Structure 1
């Protein structure tokens, strides 16, 4: 039965197994950062300045959400047949229904990313420098909407921090992934020291964005070729959204499962059918 303590524990184990699989660091991920060192050297100053401005805009997301903030008014569109219109109503849904909504959302975003990657891949290295901030924005939007599907509100600054940590997780190495998972495991704890540790990460948000950019190095190498970059750009951006969608689903799913396990322990949860 969906929602029973046994079912929740079994699903939690699946997420934890997925987390262990993410610890494998491919050597080429490090080697692949070289193309971006070359790109920084060759790219005209005005394009580098444009990248800087766009990345600065992402920094505003942490504080206010900025132009990247998603609205919970979208909830009804994610659950069109259920009449769900608020986070409170979403929180009453079985987790498998949340999973279905996230899978549909990710599928739609992958189509959008494919089109975006193809469009920005036409011009080679010059449009590539524009593609990176655009893709960051699309992934932020996707993570926020995944949060909404699981009953969390991106209007809450705390949720925006969780989303940034999810983004950081995707581009981190083995040690980084382990550290992030440890932080996220403390995310909903009342421990003030734990909260301060996580909040201190806000100071390094810019480094997070540049690390994320570098992580695309080897994947974006062939997108630097004009025209041919159309094919590579479409494939790579679709893959990027797939990765962020998978990570967002698993990390938010784990959070929701643990939340319901705690409620179950306190006899505050009713069985889902």
Structure 2
């Protein structure tokens, strides 16, 4: 099997996963999340919401993030090898950061949210550049945010987002010129609700460091896998 054939097989499996209907586990997770949200102080919710809002606005306006100079690759295999190395770097860095902030109690645990969010978005900028897309184009930055939602949303919302990126070449032509029309509110609510369930243990004493390390590693791994398949949909088109 060639590398391109393997890419197509992995992409097809991923596409089915993105489009499946929410199952019992998905609905149960959402119910548990709602209960947890009621236990978390409002000031914690507000801090997370404001952080996500500002980070998303930074991405939309392109004033916060810088992408590496676009390298030249001999083949798609070389592209994906470079992407995998970059994902591995970020997940190890995120894991170390999660362990440190998790060991520092609630205050440092809260600091992990903006730090990890920044790492994830920077990783997506890097991956987009490696695949040959210009992130100076605001439509490419929107695509990055769609990828982010695919990785960190409920299954119900994920299906809606997936429909938005299918046949992106044509759909991007219909996007408005006003970037303020992006629905950042739904974006941050889905992200916050999804991450709270995984990250709440990082705020607990004793186990916080271990939780932060493992969860951050897994979250960045998931994001890398989602981004690779989302860009495969375009480069293999």
Report the TM-score range of the alignment, normalised by the length of the smaller protein.
0.7 to 0.9
1:61-91 deviations in Å (ceiling 9; x for gaps): 2432232x12232x4xxxxxxxx4xxxx44x
CA contact (8 A) 1:57 1:66 kept: no
**How many residues are aligned here?**
232
Q: Which residue of 1 aligns with 2:10?
A: 14
Greater radius of gyration (CA): 1
Alignment of 1:153-172 (within 5 A): 153-172=134-153
Q: Which residue of 1 aligns with 2:219?
A: 240
Does residue 132 (structure 1) correspond to residue 113 (structure 2)? The answer is: yes
Does residue 117 (structure 1) correspond to residue 98 (structure 2)? The answer is: yes
120-129 or 209-218, larger mean C-alpha shift: 120-129
Does residue 29 (structure 1) correspond to residue 25 (structure 2)? The answer is: no
Gaps of 5+ in 1: 76-83, 259-273
Q: CA deviation at 1:189?
A: 1.1
- The CA distance in 1 between the partners of 2:168 and 2:99, in whole Å, is 37
Does residue 210 (structure 1) correspond to residue 189 (structure 2)? The answer is: yes
Q: CA deviation at 1:246?
A: 0.6
Q: CA RMSD in A?
A: 2.8
- The CA distance in 1 between the partners of 2:231 and 2:218, in whole Å, is 20
**Cα–Cα, structure 1 residues 255 and 234, in superposed 2: closer, same or farther, change >3 Å?**
same
CA contact (8 A) 2:49 2:188 kept: no
CA contact (8 A) 1:15 1:250 kept: yes
Q: Which residue of 2 aligns with 1:38?
A: 39
Q: Which residue of 2 aligns with 1:174?
A: 155
User: Normalized against structure 2, the TM-score is what?
Assistant: 0.84
CA contact (8 A) 2:138 2:179 kept: no
Q: CA deviation at 1:95?
A: 1.1
**Cα–Cα, structure 1 residues 2 and 202, in superposed 2: closer, same or farther, change >3 Å?**
farther
User: Normalized against structure 1, the TM-score is what?
Assistant: 0.74
Does residue 101 (structure 1) correspond to residue 98 (structure 2)? The answer is: no
Determine helix, strand or coil for the equivalent of 2:136.
coil
**Cα–Cα, structure 1 residues 190 and 132, in superposed 2: closer, same or farther, change >3 Å?**
closer
1:151-183 deviations in Å (ceiling 9; x for gaps): 112222111100000001112233322222221
Determine helix, strand or coil for the equivalent of 1:153.
coil
CA contact (8 A) 1:72 1:153 kept: no
